[in-house]
Structure 1
Amino acid sequence: MAALSPPRPPPPPPSSLISPLLFFARISGLGVAFLVVSWALNFKSSFLPQSTSQEDLIYAVLHPLLMVIGFILISGEAILVHKWLPGSRSLKKSVHLSLQGVALASGVFGIWTKFHGNDGVLANFYSLHSWMGLICIALFGAQWLIGFMSFWHRGEIRSTRMKVLPWHIFFGLYTYGLAVATAETGLLEKLTFLQTMRNVSRRSPESMVVNGLGLGLAFLSGIVILAAVSPMYDNLQRKLVYSSDQIKNLMS
């Protein structure tokens, strides 16, 4: 007869690693938001040096704001929802899906701003930055659609959903990393243009802001990805307890 397993202890608090990561993610996110807003508002003439149209200037300034704050920062926050939001799994998934929907809408509108102009639809889509941006939005949209269908169709076989989940996580983190890499290529492209065509000094305030923004995005993405892949201590502890109980029952 199998021996009765001892009562399981109450689940311990979340891993001590998660809370500092969430704190630094929020701080670095605020820093990135501050830098991109400062760049867009304080150096507006750099975005459209050859145009005097106020409408063109608004669209040009909206592009970095939407792609960095609306797309990268909000999608990063959506990735971290499962690590900090209390409540049921269904609540976490619904908030995650909603935030990713906002990020997708911001990304689509941010790319649409580059279609606006008198040079034609494809005038701004010739560089590595633009190609990566289109691929990133396409992958993000497909990822969100799969998540939406999975959320509203919960009758699938559990084994099938468990097989799809690792791929969903992988492509989610890959797309987020691709979005940051795309932003970095855009910053490099813009700064190179300013320094060669506009004779902006390498040590000018604008160069420092753009370089700081690039470093901030790199730092933020590392924290978000690390927090996303770090296991919660309570879930890990429960798995260890369950495995220990199963071994004791088999040996009894």
Structure 2
Amino acid sequence: MGSEEDPRDYDFSRKIFKAGFVVAAVSGILMWLLMFVWVFGFTGGVSWGTDSKTEINLHVILMTVFMVYLQGHGAIIFRTLPSRPKFQVKLIHAGFHFTTVIAVSFGLWSAVRAHNMKGQPHFFTLHSWIGIIAIVLFYGQFLAGFLVFLLPYAPMRVRNFVIPYHKFMGPLIFLSSCMAAATGMMMKALGALRY
């Protein structure tokens, strides 16, 4: 007897994945809505260059929406679009991540600017350490993925060597991003409770 998989197992696995994807997508949209209500309803909204309290809110929105939600969707796009041509899915994957690189760069810059306005030191909290690690890993992953998988120059043996590490780093970066978002929101909430 061979080790063939039962097609019903694959169908069941796809159904579980689709259900999990729907739950994650709806949860992510709910996260967006709640975060926007929180930022615009309770913490003064966002600004660029006028007020440190509202400029840091721009950091909150950009990092959460892009580093958690969009990066998370970009990471699983190959599973959500299995019937599409592979190169087309690669472009969508790269597009999600490129958009995230741009937004995260602005998000990081807005945090640095907000700290400069208040005269606060940079990178002195657990949130900032986890966040910087997540960003450095994400930028490195993006660059490696672009050079190895998107450009047509890397030999197949290099791609085959890199792919397991690329697949391992995606969830690690996503979890690091979630940890950074959770610690950042906790800091923001605790700061709001101070009178």
Which TM-score band applies after superposition, normalised by the shorter structure? 0.7 to 0.9
Change (3 A) 1:29 1:81: same
Q: Are the aligned partners of 2:64 and 2:181 in contact in 1 as well (CA < 8 Å)?
A: yes
Offset from partner CA, 1:7-33 (integer Å, 9 cap, x none): xx9xx7572212111111111111110
Change (3 A) 1:154 1:172: same
Q: Are the aligned partners of 1:75 and 1:176 in contact in 2 as well (CA < 8 Å)?
A: yes
Q: Which residue of 1 aligns with 2:189?
A: 191
Q: Which residue of 1 aligns with 2:70?
A: 74
Greater relative contact order (Cα 8 A, min sep 6): structure 1 or 2? 1
CA–CA distance in structure 2, aligned partners of residues 148 and 160 of structure 1: 13
CA–CA distance in structure 2, aligned partners of residues 123 and 42 of structure 1: 28
Any stretches of 5+ residues in structure 2 without a counterpart?
Answer: 1-6
Q: Are the aligned partners of 1:72 and 1:103 in contact in 2 as well (CA < 8 Å)?
A: no
What is the CA distance between 1:45 and its match in structure 2? 4.4
CA–CA distance in structure 1, aligned partners of residues 45 and 150 of structure 2: 45
Q: Greater helix percent: which structure?
A: 2
Offset from partner CA, 1:141-195 (integer Å, 9 cap, x none): 0100001111343343323322211100111110111010011111222223333
Change (3 A) 1:190 1:89: same
Q: Which residue of 2 aligns with 1:134?
A: 132
Across the two proteins, how many residue pairs are aligned to each other?
182
- Matched letter for residue 28 of structure 1: S
> Secondary structure at the residue paired with 1:99?
helix
- Matched letter for residue 106 of structure 1: A
Q: What RMSD in Å do the two structures reach over aligned CA positions?
A: 2.5
> Secondary structure at the residue paired with 2:79?
helix
CA–CA distance in structure 1, aligned partners of residues 55 and 144 of structure 2: 31
Q: Which residue of 2 aligns with 1:171?
A: 169
> Secondary structure at the residue paired with 1:154?
coil
What is the CA distance between 1:118 and its match in structure 2? 2.5
Change (3 A) 1:142 1:185: same
Match among 72, 88, 93 for residue 91 of structure 1:
88
Tell me whether 1:62 sits opposite 2:58 in the alignment: yes
Please tell me whether Structure 1 or Structure 2 has the larger radius of gyration of its CA atoms: 1
Any stretches of 5+ residues in structure 1 without a counterpart?
Answer: 1-8, 199-252
- For 1:38-53, list aligned pairs within 5 A: 38-45=37-44
What is the CA distance between 1:72 and its match in structure 2? 1.1
Change (3 A) 1:27 1:126: same
What is the CA distance between 1:41 and its match in structure 2? 0.4
* 4+ residue runs over 6 A deviation: none
Q: Which residue of 1 aligns with 2:102?
A: 105
Tell me whether 1:153 sits opposite 2:151 in the alignment: yes
Identical columns (%): 24
